[in-house]
Amino acid sequence: MTVVRGLFIAQRYSAMLLAPFVLIHLALIIIVVRNGLTAEEILSRTNGSTLWFVFYVAFVLAVTVHAPIGVRNVLNEWTRLSGGVVNVICLCLALLMLSTGLRAVFAVT
């Protein structure tokens, strides 16, 4: 198994998770906005909810895996940056997504 093949597999499987996740997330936003819930009302429903905690942690993990691999492909194809530099950039991006994403999940659940 080569690194590139491993990344390809990780990106495919994370995409399989993200497809339903994104749909649920969008549906959720639409329902919430349509019902005109206030921030407090939303927080009262998400705070302490294991379901939403697990869902959004999984969401954040899937994004953290999926997006930086894609950005790595784009940078490798479209810029003259060396492979090492691209890897560092994408690793930083992954850490940034992971930390900000988890921070948000902990804040609302």
Instruction: Give me the residues that bind other proteins (CB under 8 A), please.
Output: 1-2, 4-5, 7-9, 12-13, 73, 76-77
Nearer to other proteins, 34 or 80 (CB): 80
Whose tokens are 């930086």? That residue is 68
Nearer to other proteins, 28 or 74 (CB): 74
Nearer to other proteins, 2 or 38 (CB): 2
Least distance between other proteins and beta carbon 69 (Å) = 9
- For 106, the 3-state DSSP assignment is helix
Token pair listed for 83: 């492979």
Phi and psi at 104, nearest 5°, equal -65, -40
Q: At a CB cut-off of 8 Å and minimum separation 6, what does 108 contact?
A: 42, 43, 46, 47, 52, 56
Least distance between other proteins and beta carbon 94 (Å) = 18
